[in-house]
Amino acid sequence: MSNIVVIGERIRRLRIDKGLTQKELGKILNMNKTTISHYEKGERCPSIETLILISDYFNVDIKYILGINNLGKSYNSEIKLSDEEIMFIKEIRKISSYKNLIINPKSYVKLIALRTTDYKM
């Protein structure tokens, strides 16, 4: 998938999650609905200035919109991970059922809790 398509999908997802129409987002960003539609379809790439406007409006890291990371917000300033926690996450990602873990994390946490004695749910 090309970067321009990823950018469009991310903009669309942010807009829908916020409950906005393309027309409403266009008005907020001072552009027309057609421009928003072109971005979302991957037919045009927003300028860096527009990407910054979108990032600021939705309060997300611009790297998310660009497809560089999958975290909408910049969690680096909110959550500090130790080296061991980062290593753990990297190892978890190697598991073939990793996507299932992401979809239904509570069931996997319960499995881990059953194997450990100091975890409190």
The predicted pLDDT at position 119 comes to 53
Confidence of residue 75 (pLDDT cuts 50, 70, 90): very low
Q: What percent of the chain has pLDDT over 90?
A: 45
Q: Smallest Cα–Cα separation from 53: which of 36, 34, 78, 77?
A: 36
CA 60/CA 52 separation, integer angstroms: 10
Q: What is the mean pLDDT of residues 67-77?
A: 61
The predicted pLDDT at position 77 comes to 46
| Fold held by 3-77 | 434 Repressor (Amino-terminal Domain) (1.10.260)
The predicted pLDDT at position 121 comes to 53
pTM: 0.59
Q: Where in the chain is the domain with CATH 1.10.260.40?
A: 3-77
Q: What's the Cα-to-Cα distance from 52 to each of 58, 59, 92, rounded to whole Å?
A: 10, 10, 33
